[in-house]
Amino acid sequence: MSVTLIVLFSTCLKETLANESEYLIVWWNVENLFDTVNDPRKNDDEYTPTGKREWTEQRLNKKFENLAHVIKDISKRNKKQFPDIMGFCEVENEPLLDQLYKKYIKAANHKIVYHESMDSRGIDVSFVYNSKTFRLINKKVIGVKIYDKPTRDILLGHFKDLKKGYDLYVFLNHWPSRIGGEEKTELKRISAAKSLRHAIDSLLKKNADADILLMGDFNDEPIDKSILTYLKSSGSRDYVKKGTKDIKPMKLEVTIKRFNPEVDSAKGIEKTYITEADPHERVLDVLNKIKWEQDGTLSYRKSCAHGVCGSDAMMINGENKLACVTLVKDIKSDKLFIEPLPGASVIKDLIVDMDPFWNKYKTVLPYLITDEPTPENERYQHPDDHLLIEESTKCILCGACSFSCPSTWSDSEYLGPAALLKAYRFIFDSRDQAADQRLKIIDNNKGLWKCYTIFNCVQACPKEIDITKHISALKRRVVEEQF
Ligand code: SF4
Ligand code: FES
C-alpha cells in the first residue's frame, strides 16, 4: 500500500484565502480499495475471496483499520478533527468509503462525493469533505479521452467555505499509469493534461480570480511534458494562469569542462557551445542537445532523468546539482558553466570515479541487520518510529553532498556525509539490531568527528535532506552511549 500524503500540485490559491482560513486538505492513492464481491461490470475478479488476491472480508477489514489509523494520525499531527477535504484515488465504490468513515474512523459530519467512471477495473476518485467546514456547491466530471480503453475521469468539486464564504475549486486526478512503458503511455497522460487545462481555462474565463487546487496521482513528474507543456505549469501561479504562449526559447552559452584521458593534460580543457533551450527544459536536456546535435564525444552519466537514480550529479554554475532536475530558468543566467563533481577523480568529461564513494558507503553496513525471523509479509514499523528515519530514507546516493564537503576534499579517507546519513538510516531504524556495530565504525576522526558542520552538504542535496542534523544526532547518540 503506498502512503503518499501530499497535495502534489496546487495552483492559484489566493493569498487572502490561504492567510485567513486554514484548511487541512489531503490526497491519498489508497491502492486498490476493492470490496470482496465480484462486480460483473468490472474487471475486479482478482479482488474476491477465491480470486488471485484471495481478497477476504478479514483482509479488507485490516486494510480499513490501516487506512483509519493513518487518517487519524494525520488529524492528530495537524491538531485537527479530520482533514477538511480528503481526495482518494483507487476506490471501487462509495459504500466502501462510507464504511471507512462511519465504522473505522467514526467521523461525524463527513460527506462523500463519488463518481463512477468507465475505468475497466472500476477504481475511481472521490472526495470526503467535512460538512462543518465546506458546503459542496457542485460536482463536475471531466472526461479523459484515450485511444484504447476508457480511463478514470477527473472530478471537480466546487466547495464553499462556510465561515468566510470563499469558493474553492478542487480538481481530483488519477491520470493513466505508466504500465506498458513511460514513453508508450505518455500520450494518455498528455490527453488528461489537455482535458484538465481546458477545464481550468473555462473556469478562469468565468472567474479569473478563482481559487483552484489541483491534486491527485498524475503518474508524471512536475517536469514532464504533460505537466509542463500541456497543463502549462511552472509552479508559479501567474504562469499557470497566463499559459505558455509568451515563453520563448533562450540562447545559451554553455561552457563544459572536458577531459579526455587519451589526449588531454590532467587539467583538461574548457569548451563552449552555443545552443537554445526552453526556460523549462532541464540542464540534462541542454547536455543531450549538445551531445546529439553538436558534439557526440561529450560524456556524462544519466539514467532515470527524473531525480530518482542519482546518476547525473555535477557542478552547475558553481553548485553541485542534478542536471535532470535543474531547470534552465532557475539558473538565472544565459551562461552555463558545467564541471564534474569537485574533489573526485575524473574518468572522462563529467564522469567521475564513484568507486571510493561506494566503498565508503559499504563500510557502514547499509542494510538491515536483525536476528528476528523473516516475517511472512513486510517488517512493520510504527509510524512514529518511521518518522525518525523518514528523511534519511529519501537519499538517492547521488554524491552531491559528499563531493561538496571540504572535509572530503582534504581527507580522502573521510567517510563523508552520504555514508554517515546511511549509517543514521539504519542506526535509528527500530527494526535493526546492529547500531552498536555501526557506531563503532563511524565514531572516529575519519567518520563522525571529521564533520565540522560546514553545511555545504545540506545546500547541495537535491532531496533537501538536512544531513548535518542527522550527523549531529549520531554524535549525540555516541556521547549518550558513553555516559
Ligand atoms: S544525502 Fe542528498 S546529496 Fe547526499 S547522496 Fe543522498 S541525495 Fe545525494
Ligand atoms: S538521471 Fe537519474 S537522478 Fe538525474
Give the model's confidence band at 11: pLDDT under 50 very low, under 70 low, under 90 confident, else very high: very low
Return the residue whose CA atom lies nearest to atom 2 of ligand 1: 461
State the greatest distance between any 2 C-alpha atoms of the chain, in Å, as a whole number. Answer: 74
Q: Is residue 237 predicted with pLDDT exceeding 80? A: no
Cα–Cα distance measured from residue 173 to residue 124, given in angstroms and rounded to the nearest whole number: 9
For the cut 90, the answer to whether the pLDDT of residue 155 exceeds it is yes
Q: Phi-psi region for residue 417, left (φ > 0), alpha (ψ -120 to 50) or beta?
A: alpha
Beta bridge partner(s), residue 270: 257
Q: What is the arrangement of strands in the sheet containing 154-161, beginning at the earlier edge strand? A: 9-10, 212-217, 167-174, 154-161, 134-142
Please say whether the beta carbons of 340 and 315 come within 8 A. Answer: yes
Q: Provide φ and ψ at 98, rounded to 5°.
A: -60, -45
User: 27-58 as b/e, with b when 16 or more CB fall inside 10 Å?
Assistant: bbbbebbbbbeeeeebebeebbeeeeeebeee
Q: Which residue's C-alpha cell is 556524462?
A: 300
Q: CATH class for domain 355-482?
A: mainly alpha
What is the structure's pLDDT at 12?
A: 30
Question: Ligand 2 mean position to 103 CA, how many Å?
Answer: 44
Architecture of domain 250-352: Roll (3.10)
How crowded is residue 175: how many other Cβ atoms within 10 Å of its Cβ? 27
CB 193 within 8 A of CB 230: yes
**Atom 3 of ligand 1, nearest CA residue:** 461
Per-domain residue ranges of the chain: 9-242, 250-352, 355-482
- Dihedral, 172, 178, 183, 186 alpha carbons, nearest 10: -20
Q: What is the pLDDT of residues 294-350, one digit of tens each?
A: 999 999 999 988 888 999 999 999 999 999 999 898 898 999 999 999 999 999 999
Choice from 304, 309, 360, 396 to test ligand 1 binding pocket (greatest atom count within 8 A of CB): 396
Ligand 1, atom 4: closest residue by C-alpha: 401
- Cell output for 206: 468565468
pLDDT tens-place string over residues 354-368: 999 999 999 999 999
| CB contact at 8 A, 308 and 396 | yes
SS3 annotation, 268-285:
CEEEEEEEEECCCCEHHH
Residue 255: its H or E element: strand 250-258
Kindly state the helix (H) or strand (E) to which residue 437 belongs, with its residue range.
helix 435-442
| Burial group, residue 279, by CB count within 10 angstroms (0-12, 13-18, 19+) | middle
User: Measured from the CB, is residue 312 less than 6 Å from ligand 2?
Assistant: yes
Among 421, 464, 471, name the best residue to mutate to test ligand 1's pocket (greatest count of ligand atoms within 8 A of Cβ). Answer: 421
9-242: CATH number: 3.60.10.10
User: pLDDT digits over 64-92, tens only?
Assistant: 999 999 999 988 888 777 899 999 999 99
pLDDT in tens, 261-296: 988 887 899 999 999 998 878 999 999 999 999 999
Q: From CA 66, how far away is CA 295, in angstroms rounded?
A: 54
Indicate if ligand 1 lies below 6 Å from the C-beta of 400.
yes
- At residue 435, φ and ψ (nearest 5 deg) are -60, -45
Q: Which ligand is nearest to the CA of 284?
A: 2
| Alpha carbons 83 and 71: distance in angstroms, whole number | 8
**Euclidean distance between CA atoms 157 and 210, whole angstroms:** 13
Q: How confident is the model at residue 17 (pLDDT cuts 50, 70, 90)?
A: very low
Residue 149 pLDDT class (50, 70, 90 cuts): confident
